């Protein structure tokens, strides 16, 4: 639970700690498909604009800046959640990023990266991580509300 | 005698409802203005050279105001690359970030640089006499500010052409006029009139029946990423063409540098702008 809001985290996939994305092996390909977790979407709220600063097919390293997002609650750079070859972006989101809000665990996926995924967390590890940062998150949210 | 002026509203890429509302408020207000033709196009930087958007812009012969979510300098040189040229219309609106001391220092530096005796490409490339004003939609939140400035521009260009080129040799004399503009003493009267006009025009973006139609151009070319050369700074030194590995740059038939293959550019790579000794290369999305 995030305050009064319930956040669901499917257990059929893994999670990246630093930018709150889920990762799931794409069928038939060696790539991990990434999208925002319910936690990230809850903090972002309505997504208005998404842009990528790299092209499909390039190698990225974990933590590298790869894009930008504008939402009701935030404007933020986006970073690669793992090292590997960024093979595909979800092009439909560029025209209509609201799919992220409608179906963040499905059609609202962001991109696919080929790589080993060693640093990705299990859902249990991710939830434990969220519990540990929840105090700070609440302070951040309240700080925004008081601005 | 009133000349007509074309106002082009270049839409942003964002679906932020506040930004969309500013765009629609502007369209609704501008169609009620006399002497103003309104054209709505997608994001200027994303328009393809042979698309309907650029075609429509090239068909505008007279004075024009370009409202876009870009720095005026970027908008101006994007148009220039597409053969849409004119004298630089001087807006009295402050640009995004102007007024900060750091930025003024930077501007001063750049002006000092431009004052030296280097030959700039733009010096040998005269523009047609019509004027193009580029206004940055990121600078103000309210449509009113832009509408007032467009009215001023219409007045400026509707009066007999006596000293209109007086600004060419130097900076605009904007001290007192700017002050008067920024702190108007009668902001209620005109605003009230426009509120009525906006309701008449309908809240759903449909123009009122008697109003001149707005030309709306849709083009879905996707996002682009490429350099834009500011020829008022460029000295044709060829550092960029030597540097770029992707064949973005070329030269025209008088050996002047140009962005020949913009879509060869690598998304997110602004490196050529860093090697340019004159800071003449713009990546508007960077």
- Orientation of helix B143-158 relative to helix B17-30, angle to 10°: 30
Partner residue facing A70 (CB), from B16, B223, B268: B16
Q: Which of A111, A98, A95 is nearest to A54 (CA)?
A: A111
Q: Considering only residues B97 and A130, tell me which one the structure prediction assigns the higher pLDDT.
A: A130
**Interface pTM, i.e. ipTM:** 0.85
Q: Identify the CATH number of the domain defined by range A14-116.
A: 2.40.50.100
Q: Tell me the mean pLDDT in the region A24-38.
A: 88
Q: Tell me the mean pLDDT in the region A112-132.
A: 92
Percentage with pLDDT > 90 across chain A: 73
Asked if residue B204 and residue B254 are part of one domain, the reply reads no
Q: Is residue B166 part of a domain?
A: yes
The pLDDT value given to residue B2: 59
The pLDDT value given to residue B28: 95
Q: Tell me the mean pLDDT in the region B142-166.
A: 79
Q: Is residue B185 part of a domain?
A: yes
The pLDDT value given to residue B245: 94
The pLDDT value given to residue B174: 54
Q: Is the pLDDT of residue B80 over 70?
A: yes
| CB B92 within 8 Å of CB B178 | yes
Q: Is the pLDDT of residue B3 over 70?
A: yes
For residue range A63-89, list pLDDT tens digits in order.
999 999 999 999 999 999 999 999 999
Contact A70 B223 (CB under 8 A): no
Give me the domain span that covers residue B138.
5-101+126-216
The pLDDT value given to residue B207: 46
Of B216, B246, B274, the domain-final residue: B216
| CB B54 within 8 Å of CB B48 | yes
Q: How far apart are CA A60 and CA A86, in angstroms?
A: 7
Give the number of domains in chain B. Answer: 2
> Band of the pLDDT at B91, cuts 50, 70, 90?
very high
Enumerate residues 6+ apart whose C-beta is below 8 A from B278. B113, B118, B233, B234, B235, B237
Asked if residue B157 and residue B191 are part of one domain, the reply reads yes
Asked if residue B256 and residue B190 are part of one domain, the reply reads no
| CB B232 within 8 Å of CB B118 | no
Q: Is residue B260 part of a domain?
A: yes
Kindly report the average pLDDT of chain B as a whole number: 83
Q: Is residue B51 part of a domain?
A: yes
Q: Tell me the mean pLDDT in the region B236-255.
A: 96
Candidate from A15-19, A119-123, B6-10, B191-195 with smallest mean pLDDT: B191-195
Q: Is residue B153 part of a domain?
A: yes
Asked if residue B147 and residue B249 are part of one domain, the reply reads no
Asked if residue B184 and residue B141 are part of one domain, the reply reads yes
Asked if residue B134 and residue B42 are part of one domain, the reply reads yes
Q: Which of A26, A17, A37 is nearest to A119 (CA)?
A: A17
The pLDDT value given to residue A47: 97
Asked if residue B264 and residue B175 are part of one domain, the reply reads no
Instruction: Pick from B11, B12, B13 the residue to mutate for testing the A interface (most A CBs within 10 Å).
Output: B13
The first and second tokens of residue B93, run together, are 């609106």
Percentage with pLDDT > 70 across chain B: 74
Q: Is residue B116 part of a domain?
A: no
Contact B285 A97 (CB under 8 A): no
The pLDDT value given to residue B211: 53
Asked if residue B165 and residue B87 are part of one domain, the reply reads yes
The pLDDT value given to residue B202: 43
Q: Tell me the mean pLDDT in the region B179-207.
A: 48
Partner residue facing B268 (CB), from A53, A70, A97: A53
Q: Which residues of A touch B13 (CB under 8 A)?
A: 49, 51
The pLDDT value given to residue B212: 62
CA distance to partner chain B, nearest, from residue A122 (Å) = 32
Q: Is the pLDDT of residue B22 over 80?
A: yes
Asked if residue B196 and residue B85 are part of one domain, the reply reads yes
Asked if residue B244 and residue B184 are part of one domain, the reply reads no
Strands A14-16 and B64-68: unpaired
Q: Considering only residues B104 and A126, tell me which one the structure prediction assigns the higher pLDDT.
A: A126
The pLDDT value given to residue B189: 46
Q: Is the pLDDT of residue A142 over 90?
A: no
> Band of the pLDDT at A134, cuts 50, 70, 90?
confident
Q: Which residues of A touch B220 (CB under 8 A)?
A: 95
Of B169, B192, B216, the domain-final residue: B216
Q: The domain spanning residue B271 has which CATH number?
A: 3.30.70.20
Q: Tell me the mean pLDDT in the region B160-175.
A: 50
The pLDDT value given to residue B166: 46
Q: Is the pLDDT of residue A126 over 70?
A: yes
Q: The domain spanning residue B18 has which CATH number?
A: 3.40.50
Q: Is residue B88 part of a domain?
A: yes
Contact A95 B220 (CB under 8 A): yes
CA distance to partner chain A, nearest, from residue B270 (Å) = 10
Any idea where the domains of chain A sit in the sequence? 14-116
Nearest CA in chain B to A69: B14
Partner residue facing A53 (CB), from B16, B220, B267: B267
């Amino acid at each position: 639970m995030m305050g009064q809001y319930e956040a669901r985290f499917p257990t059929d996939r893994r999670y990246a700690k630093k930018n709150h994305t889920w990762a799931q092996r794409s069928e038939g390909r060696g790539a991990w498909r990434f999208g925002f977790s319910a936690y990230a979407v809850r903090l972002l709220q309505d997504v208005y604009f998404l842009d990528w600063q790299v092209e499909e097919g390039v190698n990225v390293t974990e933590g590298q800046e790869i894009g930008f997002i504008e939402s009701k609650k935030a404007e933020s750079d986006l970073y690669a959640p793992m090292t590997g070859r960024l093979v595909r972006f979800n092009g439909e989101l560029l025209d209509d990023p609201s799919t992220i809000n409608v179906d963040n665990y499905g059609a609202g996926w962001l991109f696919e990266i080929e790589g080993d995924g060693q640093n990705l967390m299990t859902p249990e590890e991710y939830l434990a991580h969220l519990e540990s940062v929840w105090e700070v998150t609440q302070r951040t949210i309240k700080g925004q509300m008081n601005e | 005698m009133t000349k007509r002026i074309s106002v082009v509203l270049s839409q942003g890429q964002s679906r932020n409802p506040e930004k969309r509302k500013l765009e629609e408020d502007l369209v609704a207000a501008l169609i009620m203005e006399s002497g103003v033709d309104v054209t709505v196009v997608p994001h200027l930087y994303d328009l393809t050279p042979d698309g309907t958007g650029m075609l429509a812009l090239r068909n505008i012969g007279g004075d024009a105001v370009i409202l876009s979510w870009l720095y005026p300098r970027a908008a101006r040189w994007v148009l220039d690359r597409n053969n849409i040229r004119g004298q630089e219309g001087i807006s009295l609106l402050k640009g995004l970030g102007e007024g900060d001391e750091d930025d003024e220092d930077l501007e001063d530096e750049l002006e000092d640089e431009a004052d030296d005796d280097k030959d700039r490409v733009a010096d040998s490339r005269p523009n047609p006499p019509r004027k193009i004003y580029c206004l940055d939609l990121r600078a103000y939140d309210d449509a009113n500010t832009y509408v007032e400035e467009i009215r001023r521009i219409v007045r400026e260009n509707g009066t007999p052409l006596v000293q209109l080129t007086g600004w060419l040799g130097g900076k605009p004399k904007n001290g007192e006029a700017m002050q008067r503009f920024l702190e108007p003493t009668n902001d209620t009267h005109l605003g009230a009139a426009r509120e009525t006009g906006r309701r008449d025009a309908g809240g759903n973006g449909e123009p009122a029946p008697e109003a001149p139609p707005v030309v709306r151009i849709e083009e879905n070319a996707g996002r682009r990423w490429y350099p834009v050369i500011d020829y008022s700074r460029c000295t044709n030194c060829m550092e960029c063409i030597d540097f770029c590995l992707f064949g973005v740059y070329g030269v025209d038939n008088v050996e002047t540098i140009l962005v020949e293959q913009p879509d060869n550019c690598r998304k997110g790579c602004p490196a050529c702008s860093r090697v340019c000794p004159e800071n003449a290369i713009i990546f508007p999305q960077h």
